[in-house]
Chain A
């Protein structure tokens, strides 16, 4: 009963490097999300996918791209990492297809540091 699985759990990058955060859910959920969490800021939505084949920008999309590869998987890519992207990243999913929709299940998070 894995739920939402994120990889990697920790990563250190140098400024300008690229990387992809992977996320998969095994609950047959329609919606998937990527959030970042910074101290004192609350979770902020980066991108979301309301259903397979669709993606939309959230509150803080700049510097990121996403791919909804299939219903299970939703990846987040940093093309050219910047120190301001140092954060904890959470992938989440929910059963709902429409709006309003809140994330029901979160992955363990990826702690990303950009030097």
Chain B
């Protein structure tokens, strides 16, 4: 089983829709969780951290479920500019154990 797994998609949603992605991780000792976005043929960019209590940044909400070992990203009122690949990142305590998921592709359609 891969350490971090994501549904590759693509998720094709109309503008204005709400869409959610999940990311599962295998190591229960994981400490920190993040979401990045990566536009086509561009570099990844840090989108948001995921806190135990959940956190919200505008239209984006990230949540952590430690019991089931997954994190989620919810995007409300989708915009065309949200089209990208969303990367889940999980880290343990040691420096070299930052694991990137393979990403979920989102296309927002007019």
Question: A residues near B, CB below 8 A?
Answer: 35, 40-45, 48, 50, 56-59, 90, 98-104, 106-109
A108 pairs with B43, CB closer than 8 A:
yes
Contact (Cβ within 8 A) B91 A100 = yes
Residues facing A in B72-103 (CB within 8 A) are: 87, 89, 91-103
Query: Across chains A and B, which 6 residue pairs bring their CB atoms closest together, nearest first?
Result: A106-B43, A99-B95, A42-B100, A43-B100, A42-B102, A100-B91
Contacts of B103 in A (CB 8 A): 42
B91: contacting residue among A41, A48, A102, A107, CB under 8 A: A102
Q: Using a CB–CB distance below 8 Å, which chain B residues touch chain A?
A: 4, 8, 31-32, 34, 42-46, 87, 89, 91-103
Chain A residue with the shortest CB-CB distance to B4: A42
**Complex: how many Å from CA A45 to CA B91?**
12
Report Cα–Cα, A48/B28, bound state, in Å.
Answer: 24
Per the bound structure, the CA–CA distance linking A99 and B93 in Å amounts to 6
The contact sample of 29 A-B pairs, CB cut-off 8 A, is A40-B8, A42-B4, A42-B99, A42-B103, A43-B100, A48-B96, A56-B95, A57-B96, A59-B96, A90-B44, A98-B95, A99-B93, A99-B94, A100-B91, A100-B92, A100-B94, A100-B95, A100-B98, A101-B98, A102-B32, A102-B34, A102-B46, A102-B89, A102-B91, A104-B46, A106-B43, A106-B44, A106-B45, A109-B43
Residues of A within 8 A of B44 (CB): 43, 90, 103, 106
Within the complex, the shortest CB–CB distance from A96 to chain B, in Å, comes to 10
Q: Tell me how far the C-beta of B51 lies from the nearest C-beta in chain A, rounded to whole angstroms.
A: 14
- Smallest beta-carbon distance B97→chain A, Å: 8
Residues of A within 8 A of B89 (CB): 102
Residues of A with C-beta under 8 A to B43: 90, 106-109
In the assembled complex, the Cα of A100 lies from the Cα of B102 at a distance in Å of 21
CA distance A99 to B31 in the complex (A): 11
A100 CB contacts on chain B under 8 angstroms? 31-32, 91-95, 97-98
In angstroms, how far is the closest chain A Cβ from the Cβ of B36?
Answer: 9
Chain B residues whose C-beta falls within 8 Å of the C-beta of A58 in the assembled complex: 96
